[in-house]
Structure 1
């Protein structure tokens, strides 16, 4: 990485990067940028080839982009409070020069001036909250690896729900069930035979039960006591915010924030 200075009314520091190809090889660059950030009191712009992308839309073709792949670059942008400088040039700055069927385009070059240090992070918090909500809705592990393309997220949720629907199934008599009613009936019949509907049980002998450990009067009072709002709140706040949502689609993190 090379640093240059432009003299004006205020010094502007321009850091030019040329990143390595491998993720491990890029770690020294990330460490340098974190270190330089603490030294920069005035305007600072970081530009060059980062060999990393920030969002899924910054690559076309090739392997599926994951959150883990973008994590380091996103951390650097957030840590240094860098903005994306819009330039009048091609969006994708690199391609593998292969044939059309296997061609890959990526946005690897960027220019990032730093925001003022007193800029608040509400927008970052909102993006994280939105990503968590969409991850709950989609229930996809790779969506947790996520991106910032809302259209992409919602289309993924729709595809997931479609894949989870059972349009046809063979019942226990190898008959093909194709309507919602017959599919439902096939499932019901399968589990009725598997679990049964009723079973003869032996009568309970109170004399035998009384010889076992039984609840004390104090325990009976505790179990029959009215549940307070504070107890409900404590139980809700003890649930991990990343747990799956309930039937209404809202997870525990949403209720905590509300």
Structure 2
């Protein structure tokens, strides 16, 4: 079905003879599937590069950031195209074997990547065949996948990890250095990250359980090419069974706890006190919330129907811009006299009264400790459990708001 594939953020097919290197690799390995990210060329050039590779088929996604090429034995049956991913469904020529391959180039912004995670979760709902997912995800799973630079926060990794869990994806065995990207600097400014990876769903792992990813030498790009070998042969187990079982049980317990934490925060519900640890329930609850919030299509003011995500976003922004943009100056204030006064002078005075430390504490301890963390990466549980240490600083910051002062300014004054 899938023999060998390569996923590579090439960072321009014209840089440092990068494409020439790819052609040489293809001559050696005879790839069934080639995925190039950030080729930095017009889609009109795709055919030229297809001929250079000698593969009969090629496709580019809507953002022109994903180029894919595949062999003649794969017959395209369907595709899904958004700005951060390109999903191709294939059938092996002359057989009933079907499979799906998704190539990913994720945006640098965590907010923009939310659309990608939603795309992948929508794809898995409509995929019943072996599914291979690879590319540049532009984020990491935990702090062990970064060397140098600023500390990793939970805010950076939580959405990616929950998407992997929601899609039931398994990372293919990685043989080599875990870092796939380098910022090109040395000494204290040097940063390495694992931004590129390849996953398979459960059907893929059952069909090709011994598949591996081999990172090649980083040359012609700041990203490592990922050389994927899909293999159905099972590895021989040589370690003692009891030792393997103990390690597996310990890992399972640890990962179950991590999964519960992710889905508990994603669900936005209060954690049950009776010890209910059914993450499947929270998973279903989160997917239900997303399904309700998902906008499949909208009607424009001109009567057109828009279904693509980025077009829906543009139309929504334009509508609200027009609504809140002042076209003419309105000086008639007589109508204000018709608005009833619902807030009394006493209410105003009470709202402007400086809050006490006890009032701020009451609000903090009213927070749901199990809710998702804020932009600073701290949940309500942190502020409650550390109140004796940080209570005075939190109160001072609240007072800064009432005094129209900067946070640092009022903290320095105490």
More strand per residue: 2
**TM-score range relative to shorter protein:** 0.3 to 0.5
- Structure scoring higher RCO (CA < 8 A, sep ≥ 6) equals 1
Larger Rg: 1
